[in-house]
Structure 1
Amino acid sequence: MKAINTIRMGGVDVLPLVEGGKGVAVSNGLTAGAWAAAGGVGTFSAVNADSYDAEGRTVRQIYTGRTRVDRHEELVAYGIAGGIAQAREAREVGGKNARIHANILWEMGGAERVIRGVLEGARGLINGITCGAGMPYRLSEIAREFGVHYYPIVSSARAFSALWKRSYSKVSDWLGGVVYEDPWLAGGHNGLSNGEDPKRPEAPYDRVRKLREQMRAFGLDDTPIIMAGGVWWLEEWDDWIDNPELGPIAFQFGTRPLLTKESPVSEAWKQRLTGLKAGDVLLQPFSPTGFYSSAVRNEFLQDLEARSERQVAYTSEPIGEHTAEFGVGPRKRPVWLTPADREHAVAWTGHGFSEALRTPDSTLVFVTPENAREIVKDQVDCMGCLSQCRFSNWTQHGPEFSTGKKADPRSFCIQKTLQDIAHDGSLENNLMFAGHNAYRFGSDPFYSNGFVPTVKQLVERILTGR
């Protein structure tokens, strides 16, 4: 394998190894600091990050506000306090010369307010901001304001072109690099466009080559591209290293840092990773963000899959083939289904899925009474963790703070489940994000006999090519 040399990124020389930011509370200051101390770029998640009390105990994010707007304000305050706490820990662990980045999601609730609050409260501790999940046009302005570099996360040359022409061309000096996140391989939320098929993955080389061509057209020949998604052994990317067609390339590791001594995830979670098989990570459309996302197929995802399968279209009046009357809700208000769908509805009801919940797409999904109560409670308890949420119909923009659409029971409260699994909650009944190569923990000899490396040992291993 070719030698792994340092790369110029954000005005300094670093190993071309970047820790991928994983929220909520999974990439923290300890992991980021350790990764940066090993010579790469450490990234902590500023997405609802943990903060600590005077005794160093994690402050659980409990919401007491009576309205969604009140709870949203609590969420923003938690986010700022947590981001500052993680930045301080990352700097303490990594040292004064460590390269520390903060990762945010543009579509998270109060994203601008949170990252501004974190950068203000942690001045001098953070070197860069990585940001995806949306089109973060204002990212460059925020970076310039605080004197840090910015690293947009994109999944195509077209997306970067739109960002550059609208905003980034005016703040080019602070562009530290561009993260290409493979939408078919990366864990967490993925940037699949409406024109791309989630079941037909495209090889990353040509997509990254097109991104480089677009960047060169904008005069960004020497700005690094950071390849994210599907990176495991660097020897498998040998033809990317020192490749003049691609220009300077760095590699981002999101999944592998989960299984380290410093990783804050539970021991049960780490153990689960070593037992995954190929195909156990599912690219699925259930996220309340509206994006596809990749997570371990467990009982939580199986329930969402089954819920969407127990679904029929309805009309409020008999129209066309919708001639079969069906009663919905406690008062059995009539809707009309096709005769075949009515048979399905009656069968599901007979099997205990007796609650029919309306969706924004004029369909009914059938769930148990217990599940229906949980869905409604989670919708009512919404704390505005997203800029807009299809599950609860929240939007952070007033005066109504509503998307104007029905809340969608086919989705879920993402804040609730990510907070729970990050703090030792159930591995079966929560969303467990992971990249599609996570099954390789079980076959990679590095992890033989249950070995769990430190971050330093992992980085040293990666530098061997393996």
Structure 2
Amino acid sequence: MFKGLKPIVYNGQEVWPLVEGGKGVSATNHASAGAWAAAGGIGTVSAVNADSYDAEGKIVPQVYKALTRRERHEELITYAIDGAVEQVKRAYEMSNGKGAININVLWEMGGAQPILHGVLERTRGMVAGVTCGAGMPYKLSEIAASYNVSYLPIVSSGRAFRALWKRAYSKAAEYLSAVVYEDPWLAGGHNGLSNAEDPRAPQDPYPRVKALRETMREGGIADSVPIVMAGGVWYLRDWENWIDNPELGQIAFQYGTRPLLTQESPIPEGWKTKLMEIQEGDVLLHQFSPTGFYSSAVRNPFLRSLEGRSERQIAFSTQEAGDHLFQLDVGVKGKNFWVTRGDLLRAREWFGQGFTDALKTPDNTLVFVTPPEKAEIRKDQADCMGCLSHCAFSSWKDSETNSTGRLADPRSFCIQKTLQDIAHGGDTDQNLMFAGHSAFNFQRDPFYSNGFVPTVKQLVDRILTGD
């Protein structure tokens, strides 16, 4: 047992202060969450478009039949509720009354509120708490409290928590069971970097978590309410000075990346194999996500193609002005695209390389793509089912008009499509592969030598030693 680490009381029983991070589409499910809880920790079912099963136990493909986006959005909500309910029920059974089962939702996912209501209504007594980030989930406390369930907001600064506390959470303080601090430079998936923070200049998490605790104390929140450190957590021994530290109060630790490589992890074997190959620096903090948030993923060919697309980008003016004196003669129809001489030469070079189609972005720029890329972008935009509350890629918005009012952005991608594909056996080179920035440890940690893949119980036991 690692020095100083003690169980905490959560949902009325003692559990290890170890939380399974609730990753997005089908990357954590009943098998991983149920096993984590059975090992004495807090397992987390992802309630983001979770899988349902047919009578034979096979995964039901999420196929959208409706013709309009609004109707497809309603299909998506039904799939999401049915899937999450099924996953929670199975995880709860697997846990055998040990540990606890949380669910994780993204506040900026399409239909977040009806999905949360639908899942909690049908899983009463099974869900201990709801973790929620990706946005400012003001209504989280009210919804969770209405089902007698605790809530664990995910924040990346004390400032964000203060805003949530003052506006909403102080009214349901007794249901706040923990605050998750997700390090915006180290965590996998979507990150809460603010405009004031430099993505290339990581900050030490200790002062930020200390500031978060001070903010919580200002609100009268007891030190026994844990702060969950998330992002970059691998060896507990690296966090020894955080445990039993009066400056920080009670601390728990969230593991997002490490549980991906377990026998119970639902991700396909190809993804698990790729995790074993990640080198330091292979995970990129990027801004291609249609959510508008920064996010961290493996810099595979999929991500490199998005980088290349944005690099093949030029600004244009609709009239001759300034140094935009040259009419663009490749990639576009019509003559109202005025560019600089240097950009004209670049555009002609890209055209010669096969990037023959220029697509407008919302920022008065053009990106150059191949005809097959253009066809895929247009199809994916047309197939949108509103998986986000607002989507830069398709211009969908969860509102009366169902439009952001901005041009759809071809520099982004359909996140629902790629996450569903990679989670269900799709090509790991041609899909978005989320991972935290510590994933290179799969190569270095002797626990995984000779391709060893542990069970969740073996992983939790290993973590408890400090390694």
Q: Report the TM-score range of the alignment, normalised by the length of the smaller protein.
A: over 0.9
**1:269 partnered with 2:240:** no
The aligned counterpart of 1:39 is: 40
Report the RMSD for the aligned CA atoms in angstroms. Answer: 1.0
Instruction: Quote the Cα distance in structure 2 between the aligned partners of 1:321 and 1:69.
Output: 44
Q: How many residues align?
A: 465
Which is further off, 295-304 or 4-13? 4-13
Kindly state the Cα deviation for residue 266 of structure 1 after the two structures are TM-superposed: 1.1
The aligned counterpart of 1:62 is: 63
Runs of 5+ consecutive residues of structure 2 not aligned to the other structure: none
After superposition, the C-alpha distances for 1:242-263 in whole angstroms (9 at most, x for unaligned) are 0010000000000000000000
Secondary structure, counterpart of 1:96 in structure 2: coil
Instruction: Quote the Cα distance in structure 2 between the aligned partners of 1:291 and 1:20.
Output: 19
Aligned counterpart in structure 1 of residue 224 of structure 2, from 211, 222, 230? 222
Report 1:296-315 matches (<5 A): 296-315=298-317
Contact 1:140/1:174, CA 8 A, preserved across alignment = yes
**1:326 partnered with 2:328:** yes
Secondary structure, counterpart of 1:438 in structure 2: coil
Report 1:90-169 matches (<5 A): 90-169=91-170
Instruction: Quote the Cα distance in structure 2 between the aligned partners of 1:54 and 1:124.
Output: 25
Contact 2:244/2:250, CA 8 A, preserved across alignment = yes
Instruction: Quote the Cα distance in structure 2 between the aligned partners of 1:219 and 1:330.
Output: 60
Instruction: Quote the Cα distance in structure 2 between the aligned partners of 1:335 and 1:415.
Output: 33
Contact 1:328/1:335, CA 8 A, preserved across alignment = no
Which is further off, 95-104 or 177-186? 95-104
The aligned counterpart of 1:459 is: 460
**1:204 partnered with 2:217:** no
Secondary structure, counterpart of 1:72 in structure 2: helix
Which is further off, 226-235 or 215-224? 215-224
Contact 2:181/2:227, CA 8 A, preserved across alignment = yes
After superposition, the C-alpha distances for 1:344-390 in whole angstroms (9 at most, x for unaligned) are 11111111001000000000000001101100110000000000000
Q: Which amino acid aligns with 2:337?
A: V
**1:353 partnered with 2:348:** no
Q: Which amino acid aligns with 1:345?
A: A
Aligned counterpart in structure 1 of residue 346 of structure 2, from 336, 344, 347? 344
After superposition, the C-alpha distances for 1:58-110 in whole angstroms (9 at most, x for unaligned) are 00101111010011000000000000010011001102343100000000000
Report 1:270-285 matches (<5 A): 270-285=272-287
Runs of 5+ consecutive residues of structure 1 not aligned to the other structure: none
Instruction: Quote the Cα distance in structure 2 between the aligned partners of 1:332 and 1:106.
Output: 42
Secondary structure, counterpart of 1:25 in structure 2: coil
Q: Which amino acid aligns with 1:229?
A: G
The aligned counterpart of 2:435 is: 434
The aligned counterpart of 2:376 is: 374
The aligned counterpart of 1:387 is: 389
The aligned counterpart of 2:23 is: 22
Secondary structure, counterpart of 2:336 in structure 1: strand
Aligned counterpart in structure 1 of residue 246 of structure 2, from 220, 226, 244? 244
**1:317 partnered with 2:319:** yes
The aligned counterpart of 2:294 is: 292
Instruction: Quote the Cα distance in structure 2 between the aligned partners of 1:290 and 1:104.
Output: 17
Instruction: Quote the Cα distance in structure 2 between the aligned partners of 1:110 and 1:121.
Output: 17
After superposition, the C-alpha distances for 1:433-456 in whole angstroms (9 at most, x for unaligned) are 000000100110001111110000
Secondary structure, counterpart of 2:328 in structure 1: strand
Contact 1:83/1:118, CA 8 A, preserved across alignment = yes
Secondary structure, counterpart of 1:320 in structure 2: coil
Which is further off, 218-227 or 149-158? 218-227
Contact 2:362/2:406, CA 8 A, preserved across alignment = yes
Kindly state the Cα deviation for residue 10 of structure 1 after the two structures are TM-superposed: 4.0
Secondary structure, counterpart of 2:229 in structure 1: strand
After superposition, the C-alpha distances for 1:216-242 in whole angstroms (9 at most, x for unaligned) are 111113211000000000001000000
Secondary structure, counterpart of 1:283 in structure 2: strand
Kindly state the Cα deviation for residue 8 of structure 1 after the two structures are TM-superposed: 2.7
Instruction: Quote the Cα distance in structure 1 between the aligned partners of 2:289 and 2:48.
Output: 16
Secondary structure, counterpart of 2:266 in structure 1: coil
Instruction: Quote the Cα distance in structure 1 between the aligned partners of 2:390 and 2:96.
Output: 38
Q: Which amino acid aligns with 1:89?
A: R
TM-score by length of 1: 0.98
Kindly state the Cα deviation for residue 140 of structure 1 after the two structures are TM-superposed: 0.2
Q: Which amino acid aligns with 2:165?
A: W
Contact 2:15/2:99, CA 8 A, preserved across alignment = no
Kindly state the Cα deviation for residue 335 of structure 1 after the two structures are TM-superposed: 0.5
Contact 1:10/1:177, CA 8 A, preserved across alignment = no
Secondary structure, counterpart of 1:334 in structure 2: coil
TM-score by length of 2: 0.98
After superposition, the C-alpha distances for 1:141-189 in whole angstroms (9 at most, x for unaligned) are 0111001000000000000000000000000000000000000000000
Secondary structure, counterpart of 1:373 in structure 2: helix
Q: Which amino acid aligns with 2:294?
A: Y
* Percent sequence identity over aligned pairs: 62
Contact 2:327/2:335, CA 8 A, preserved across alignment = no
The aligned counterpart of 2:418 is: 417
Q: Which amino acid aligns with 2:65?
A: T
